[in-house]
Amino acid sequence: GESVGLHLPTLSVQEGDNSIINCAYSNSASDYFIWYKQESGKGPQFIIDIRSNMDKRQGQRVTVLLNKTVKHLSLQIAATQPGDSAVYFCAEGAGGTSYGKLTFGQGTILTVHP
Amino acid sequence: EAGVAQSPRYKIIEKRQSVAFWCNPISGHATLYWYQQILGQGPKLLIQFQNNGVVDDSQLPKDRFSAERLKGVDSTLKIQPAKLEDSAVYLCASSRGTLDQPQHFGDGTRLSIL
């Protein structure tokens, strides 16, 4: 079932470490996945996306891995910086008439210590 | 490129009052979304527009919420009458309207119901 309230998963790392944020998705028909970063008082900011025909995609300091067998998505951040501290959301989307519709996960709080 | 603009940034009203939020999407983005984000949760889609037509409003509480996108550009979301459980951040997003074009979010309107 859904988790509600303020009990978000948390991840604390030291500056310079690599961070891995995990996400389990629910819909096996989803064919588009996206990671967003949300800082306090701001809207979600696009980080990276991946289609279901790929299992890995790299951006600047970030890598997204997709395992469709177990419906798992991860975001790797290299050399994590204090400015990376935020809540990270994964979202899944499916094609069809509602293309572009995203279903968001619960979110993970990342705290980077100097 | 200018981002998604939303106003007001904050709104405090009493229950049973009405409130309206405004969104101006990124220029050229055909698809516009309204999300509700309750504290500690991921955004939840309320309604999706393609140009000035509604694509998906399955999760919009239509007895109290309404939205329009006249002329296919700006959009307004209205709540009448407001309930305590409507306290949330209301986010607007826009995209070019295809599956793998990411949605870009505004910073939202934080609504508090007294």
pLDDT, one tens digit per residue, over B63-85 is 999 999 988 899 999 999 999 99
Helix (H, G, I), strand (E, B) or coil at A53: coil
- Residue A2: pLDDT over 50: no
Confidence class of residue A97 from pLDDT cuts 50, 70 and 90? very low
Q: Report how far residue A49's alpha carbon sits from residue A24's, in angstroms, rounded to the nearest whole number.
A: 15
A33 has pLDDT over 50? yes
Supply the pLDDT for residue B99.
Answer: 62
Residue of B nearest to A34 (CA): B102
DSSP state of A98: T
As a dihedral over the C-alpha atoms of residue A53, residue B91, residue A104, residue B80, rounded to 10 degrees, the angle is -130
Euclidean distance between CA atoms B43 and A2, whole angstroms? 13
Per-residue pLDDT, B61? 96
From the list B44, B56, B91, the residue facing A98 with the nearest CB is B56
Q: A89 and B31 in contact by Cβ < 8 A?
A: no
Chain mean position to CA B42? 14
List the single residue in A with minimal CA-CA distance to B46: A101
Average pLDDT over residues A94-109: 76
User: With an 8 Å Cβ cutoff, is A92 touching chain B?
Assistant: no
Whether A106 contacts A26, CB under 8 Å: no
